[in-house]
Amino acid sequence: MHSKDQISHDDYQKTADWLLSQTQHRPKVAIICGSGLGMLADGLKCQDSFPYADIPGFPQSTVQGHAGRLVFGELKGKTCVCMQGRFHMYEGHSLSKTTFPVRVFKLLGVETLIVTNAAGSLADSYNTGDIMIIKDHINFPGLAGLNPLNGPNDDKFGPRFPPMSGVYDRELRRLAQDISKTMGVSQYMQEGVYCMVGGPNFESIAEARLLHRLGVDAVGMSTAPEVLVASHCGMRVFGLSLITNKVVKCYDDPECVDHESVLEVSKLRSQTLQALVSELVGRMDVNNNNTA
Domain residue extents for the chain = 9-284
94 is catalytic: no
Query: Quick count: other Cβ atoms within 10 Å of Cβ 47?
Result: 16
**pLDDT for 40-98, tens place per residue?**
788 899 999 999 999 999 987 766 655 789 999 999 999 999 999 888 899 888 999 99
Neighbours of 18 (CB within 10 A): 16
Residue ranges of E strands in the chain: 29-32, 45-51, 69-75, 78-84, 112-121, 131-139, 189-196, 218-220, 236-246, 284-285, 290-291
Average pLDDT across the chain, whole number: 90
Task: Specify whether the CB–CB gap between 105 and 31 falls below 8 A.
Answer: no
Say whether pLDDT at 270 is over 50.
yes
2, 16, 35, 203: the active-site residue: 35
The per-residue pLDDT for range 213-222, each reduced to its tens digit, is: 999 999 999 9
Quick one: how far is CA 242 from the chain centroid? 11
Distance CA 29, CA 260 (A): 30
278 counts as catalytic = no
CATH of domain 9-284: 3.40.50.1580
Provide mean pLDDT across the span 237-250. Answer: 93
**Candidates 176, 189, 221, 284; catalytic one:** 221
Which residue out of 245, 266, 278, 279 is catalytically annotated? 245
This prediction has a pTM of 0.92
User: pLDDT for 140-177, tens place per residue?
Assistant: 999 999 999 999 999 999 999 999 999 999 999 999 99
Give the percent of the chain with pLDDT over 70: 90
CB of 199 closer than 8 Å to CB of 76 = no
25 assigned to active site:
no
Whether residue 118 lies in the annotated active site: yes
CA distance 111 to 23: 18
Please indicate whether residue 224 is annotated as part of the active site: no
Whether 1 shows a pLDDT value over 60: the answer reads: no
Known active-site residue 66: yes
